[in-house]
Structure 1
């Protein structure tokens, strides 16, 4: 039986439990619990196509956000810390990937 590897992103939600004791911003990792549903999705060709499309959207939006945040950091250093500049790529990429995949899946369901 084939299983969907995208579901393993939900393991990152376990880091959210550290937010209760160690560091509050880690509570944001509970957002990865959304990916639990992909353990129950059969990965067919259309699903793989949607994941590739969403991944390219996530990648290029992350590149764009990183370039923009580096430009802001170089022009106005007091507005952003260097950690925020580096984290912007990851946060924007994952957010755009998730939203794009959700929209593509909803569009696929509407066509049926």
Structure 2
């Protein structure tokens, strides 16, 4: 057990620096924006908004920080479910898509990601001031 504990502790060290906050890894989602540049797909460029999460590597994750992220993710999750249901019914009722569930899920996912990013940015600004 002692060996496994030491491996776990060593995994948190990056180049001699201790990673304070694993939530900074959310920033790696922004790499999908590079695919948008490469494949000339403008929808993928919105993933560049996740770059702001790289700053979380240097934030000490106190209780308020973790609660704020939980609040943002909860609001984003319920907005995803709500938007997916409403959009799926709308796409199906008005015959706007050949696959209404895929369209509704895509719309719900995209809007909920935007809500999560904007809320976390807003609460971060509010906490810093």
Instruction: Tell me, yes or no, whether TM beats 0.5.
Output: yes
Aligned match of 2:75 in 35, 41, 57? 57
Paired positions, count = 110
TM score, norm. by length of structure 2: 0.73
In structure 1, what is the Cα distance between the partners aligned to 2:80 and 2:23? 19
Cα RMSD after superposing both structures: 2.0
Shift of 1:47: 0.2
Q: Which has the larger radius of gyration?
A: 2
Moved over 4 A (4+): none
In structure 2, what is the Cα distance between the partners aligned to 1:59 and 1:10? 19
Q: Deviations over 1:45-95 (max 9, x none)?
A: 110111111111111111111111011112112268544322122112211
Name structure 1 gaps, 5 residues minimum. none
For the 8 Å contact 2:85–2:104, the answer to whether it is kept is no
TM score, norm. by length of structure 1: 0.82
